[in-house]
Copies of this chain bind each other. A is one copy, B any other.
Amino acid sequence: MPSLSQGKQVKAEPVFCLTNYLEAKKQSIDAALAGYLPGEDNYPPVIFRAMRYSLFAGGKRIRPILCLAVMKALGAEEREKDALPVACALEMIHTYSLIHDDLPALDDDDLRRGKPTSHKAFGEDMAVLAGDALLTEAFALLSGRELRELVAPELILTIINEIAIAAGCFGMIGGQVVDVSSDKGLADADTLHYIHTHKTGDLIQASIKVGALLGGGGKEALEALSIYGGRIGLMFQIVDDILNVEGDGAKTGKSIGSDVSRGKLTFPSLFGMEASREKAGRLLQEALEALSGFGADATPLRLLAEGIMDRKA
């Protein structure tokens, strides 16, 4: 059958489609996670069920995708499969932090991504233990056989250390501690900045850093990527705060206005909506500028930043 373009030889520039990219990465991460996580045929099944329930509750896999996109930006796309255990460990740690954050003693949330939270589905005891298990499993995966067959042991140790520090008391947990305390009356710009930088930002930064280490990035590239990571981490949290005020509950899967009713310290509550939107816009610009030295391979990172800015959920 004759083609419509027959004889015309149209040579188009390949157009990068973020939706397709995200879907492809999400699929490879989901497949890897499903393989790494022990099945529900193991004993005691309830813990594996609870781990799987939260890990496959519709997460967008932003941290693992960032890790892989950084490798692509550094021209190391063909080694992305080496990074899958690291990418999946990041997602396990993120998921554990959500399970514990949602507990009645912390944020007391009933819904997460439109589904009952872990303690609502499995009871509070199992939610504590499923979180503990995902955190521990992340380190088992990082120190396990698969990664050791692909990556030098010194580099793996550096990656484990980066992730543990970002997730620990000077990072994600520190941010969560101050966030929990901020419910109790502390409220100033420094406190808010601390919460945003650490609670969400540090693990996002670590995702980018370990991607850069695995991709073999030099000092200059690492510095640029660190600026990019810092900006999008903070932007991510500000957009989260904005969505909590004016988002569509059906899309975010959370109760709208829950931060306000809880008297929670947020960017809009401290600076207003207008200033919050402006701040997020400035951070996006700075994130994109940090990538100016990178070529076309950094397109996913650029579009990811824009996607985080424009997201509706």
Contact = CB atoms under 8 A, between A and B. Distances in A.
A131 B128 CA distance: 10
Interface string A133-177: 101110110111000100001101110110011011110011011
Given A105-B128, A128-B105, A169-B136, A47 B174 contact: yes
Contacts of A165: 140
A100 interface: yes
Contacts of A126: 177, 180
A46 B160 contact: no
B169 A137 contact: yes
A53 interface: no
Sorted from nearest, which 7 A-B pairs have the closest CB atoms? A105-B124, A140-B164, A153-B153, A143-B160, A143-B161, A136-B168, A133-B169
A101 to B, nearest CB: 9
A27 interface: no
Contacts of A106: 125, 128-129
Given A43-B174, A136-B169, A143-B158, 19 more contacts: A43-B194, A47-B177, A51-B169, A100-B129, A103-B128, A105-B124, A106-B129, A129-B180, A132-B173, A133-B173, A136-B164, A137-B169, A139-B139, A140-B161, A140-B164, A142-B160, A143-B160, A143-B161, A156-B157
Contacts of A142: 160
Contact of A181 (B44, B154, B169): B44
B143 A157 contact: yes
A44 B129 contact: no
A256 interface: no
Interface in A85-127: 96, 100, 103, 105-106, 119, 123-127
A268 interface: no
| Interface range for A | 35 or more
A132 to B, nearest CB: 6
A175 to B, nearest CB: 9
A63 B88 CA distance: 30
A110 to B, nearest CB: 16
Nearest to A167: B136
Interface string A174-196: 10111011000000000000100
Nearest to A45: B177
Given A44-B174, A44-B181, A105-B124, A135 B132 contact: yes
A125 B42 CA distance: 31
Nearest to A119: B105
Contacts of A169: 38, 42, 47-48, 51, 133, 136-137
B133 A136 contact: no
A135 B173 CA distance: 11
Contacts of A125: 105-106, 180
Contacts of A154: 148, 153
